[in-house]
């Protein structure tokens, strides 16, 4: 099974990249083929309908759409900016949903997020869930929310919370199980 893994943060040392790395490791241990999509490799202008109507979708948007379309499931680790989806990640959703094809349709999606605040990513998750569900994705109800992320990892990126990795591993196994079941149902 092919799974895309996307961090909604561009910072190379972001808490969400660290959280996603735990998830990617767990997915690979469970036998998944994981395609890590680094959004820094897909620089997209801010979505503009005039660009789309005059020039079509940028080539980089087509490449990202293709990688997403090739997967059965997607794990997203996304921060919370001002109680919602970071503009960079929302822009990815906006560009990839255009162009006459929708790579999010029917994909099983697992959401994770880490933030320094006391709420973690609890306020952002419903917004992201809503956007992806509207595009026909199947967003599983379970999610990982890491609050006060600065106390979960040290300055060098070492994980300090010994309960987080087992939680993410269990979450990854549940996500794969749901994805396999839905894929099997679709194949019959």
- Residues whose CB is less than 8 angstroms from the CB of residue 79 and which lie 6 or more positions away in sequence, other chains included: 8, 9, 14, 15, 16, 86, 113, 114, 115, 121, 124
With 0-12 / 13-18 / 19 or more C-beta atoms within 10 angstroms meaning exposed / middle / buried, residue 33 is exposed
Count how many Cα atoms sit within 13 Å of the Cα of residue 2 in the half-sphere of its side chain: 10
Range of the domain at 177: 2-187
CA–CA distance, 10 with 79 (Å, rounded to integer):
10
CATH number at residue 35: 3.40.50.360
pTM of the model: 0.95
Domain count, the chain: 1
**Res 188: pLDDT:** 54
Mean per-residue pLDDT, 120-143: 96
Of the pLDDT bands very low, low, confident and very high (cuts 50, 70, 90), residue 182 is confident
Q: What is the mean pLDDT of the chain?
A: 95
Residue 187, pLDDT above cutoff 70: no
CA–CA distance, 27 with 78 (Å, rounded to integer):
18
Residue 147, pLDDT above cutoff 90: yes
Looking at beta carbons, which pairs linking 36-40 to residues 24 or more positions away fall under 8 Å? 36/4, 36/5, 37/4, 37/5, 37/6, 37/64, 37/67, 37/68, 38/7, 39/6, 39/7, 39/8, 39/10, 39/88, 39/89, 39/92, 40/10, 40/12
**Res 8: pLDDT:** 95
Q: How do residues 3-41 score in pLDDT, each as one tens digit?
A: 999 999 999 889 999 999 999 999 999 999 999 999 999
């Amino acid at each position: 099974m092919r799974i895309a893994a996307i961090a909604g943060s561009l910072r190379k040392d972001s808490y969400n990249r660290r959280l996603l790395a735990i998830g990617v490791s767990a997915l690979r241990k469970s036998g998944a083929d994981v395609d890590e999509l680094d959004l820094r490799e897909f620089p997209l202008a801010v979505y503009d309908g005039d660009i789309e109507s005059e020039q079509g979708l940028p080539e980089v948007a087509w490449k990202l759409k293709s990688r997403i379309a090739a997967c059965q499931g997607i794990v997203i680790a996304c921060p919370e900016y001002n109680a919602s989806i970071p503009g960079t990640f929302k822009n990815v959703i906006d560009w990839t949903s255009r162009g006459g094809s929708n790579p999010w349709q029917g994909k099983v999606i697992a959401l994770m997020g880490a933030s320094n605040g006391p709420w973690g990513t609890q306020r952002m998750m419903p917004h992201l869930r809503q956007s992806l569900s509207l595009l026909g994705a199947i967003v599983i109800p379970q999610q990982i929310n890491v609050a006060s992320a600065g106390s979960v990892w040290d300055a060098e990126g070492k994980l300090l919370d010994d309960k987080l990795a087992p939680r993410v591993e269990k979450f990854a196994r549940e996500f794969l199980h749901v994805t396999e079941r839905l894929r099997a149902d679709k194949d019959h």
